[in-house]
Each structure stands twice: as structure tokens, then as C-alpha cells.
Amino acid sequence: MFKIYRAFSRDGKSYIGFTQKMVLRRKSQHRLDARGHRTNMKFHEALRTLGDGAFDWEVLQSGITSREEAERQEKYFIEKYSSIANGYNENKGGVGFDGTNERAKEKVADTLKNVYHKKPETREKHSRERGGAEVFVFKKTGELVGRYNTQIDACEALGLPKSKVCLALKGKRKTVNGFVVRDSPTPPKKMDTLSDRNHPIRVFKGGALLGEWSSVRGFCRDNHISTTTARKIINGKKESDLSFERVSP
């Protein structure tokens, strides 16, 4: 069954579409396409500019049994709401992307792979539009390995996995394949790359030596402190009378 849906902003501008999916799922797909700059549709540009919260969504008609009827009804509602002249539709309807057409899907995939992702200037442009920053890659010792315009450039130059680089830039990984990846030119300190398991440490409390442990995790286990809390103290994100010092091998 097909559904005709409408997304409309507070200024009265509308976007009309049809789908076989749940409208909530179609809404999510529009948001992903907008955030990922997968198309230059007027509607997706509006989602990026105004934000998801600027639009309300409604089902105009459901229970449509054929694609032909869905296309006809889409044209009717586009005209009814004047969503070309005063909205985000770019044609009279009935000519949208057919997700069931394998040839069409292959053509879109081929364009994304061989045109969109192959152009460094395009990648950099969209990285900037998404708020992306330059990527700086360091050795654990603090030596700068390279400065890259985008995450993809850094991954391709050094053979780094994209998913792990993303986690590192979000602060969820300390290293990626032995490198420290950051969005600022500030080199890492020794304690920044300190493993929770393998590096011996000295711990001070109020300036006085509390003791030595074989690892951060060992200290946390013996003193009933979470490794997350210890890491925040080490990185200066949490105030404490504790301080940590790496023991040189």
C-alpha cells in the first residue's frame, strides 16, 4: 500500500511525496539524506538550513494500491498545496526515484562511488558544510605525522579505518592503529595515550605518593574508582586531589 505524505514548515511551505514505507521511516530517510548531503533537493537543503524541528509531518492519503494511482495523487496534492511555487517540490510529481528499480539504484550507487566520493574538493566542501574540521594525526610520542583536510583524506593516506577515526575524534578511542587522531594541532601528552591495562603508574594524593600500580585499571580496582573517572582526572576533565604519573619502563 502507498501513502501520500506532506512535510510542512511554520511558514506554510510544503513538500509532498509518496511511499510504501511507514511515513516515520521515510522521514528518517529524508533526514539522513539531508545530513549526509546525498542530494541537492530543495527539501533537503531546507532540512539542513531550518533543522528537523522546523517541519511537521502528516499523512494525506493512505491505502493506495498501485504506484500509478500514488503518482496521480501526488500530482494532485502538489497542485493543491502549491508546493512548487510555494514549497519544496521541484516537479509536478510522478517522476520520483523508484526504490524498486534495480537499475536506478545501481546508477545512483555508481554516481556516489565514482563521482561524489572520488573528488577531494567535493569531500572537503561537504565536510566543511557539516561542521567538519581538519584532522591532525600524531605518533604517541607527540610527533605530527600529517595534517589532512578531511577524515577520508587521513584514512586514505595512512590506511586507517574510518569508523575508528570517527570514534577517536569523538573522544571514544585513545589511538587508531598506533596513531593519535585529533581535530586540533595540540600534540598528545604521554598520559593522554596511557593504556588502562598495560602501563605502570604512580598515583599521588594531595602531592603525596599514594603508591604504584601496574595499570590504571589495577589502581581503579583496588581503590573502587571507575576507569572512566580516572581517565577524566588524567585528561584534566575532572578536578581531584589525585594525580597520575607514568612510570618509565
Beta strand 14-19 pairing with 2-9: antiparallel
According to the model, what pLDDT value does residue 56 have? 92
pTM of the model: 0.41
pLDDT for residue 57: 93
Q: How many domains would you assign to the chain?
A: 3
- Any idea what the CATH number is for the domain that residue 233 is in? 1.10.10
Range of the domain at 170: 133-188
CA distances from 201 to 42, 96, 154, 214, 237 (A): 56, 62, 32, 6, 19
Q: For residue range 6-60, what is the model confidence (pLDDT) as tens digits? A: 999 988 899 999 998 888 888 888 888 888 776 778 888 899 888 888 899 999 9
Length of the chain equals 249
Locate 129 and state its grid cell.
Answer: 558544510
Amino acid at 187: P
171 and 242 inside one domain? no
pLDDT tens-digit readout, 122-174: 666 655 545 567 889 998 888 899 998 888 888 888 999 988 888 888 777 87
CB 108 within 8 A of CB 97: yes
Instruction: List the CATH number of the domain containing 61.
Output: 3.40.1440.10
* Shared-domain flag, residues 184 and 208: no
For residue 75, what pLDDT is reported? 92
Residue 131, pLDDT score: 52
What are the tens digits of pLDDT across the range 188-224?
Answer: 876 555 566 677 889 999 889 999 998 888 898 899 9
Q: What is the CA radius of gyration of the chain?
A: 26
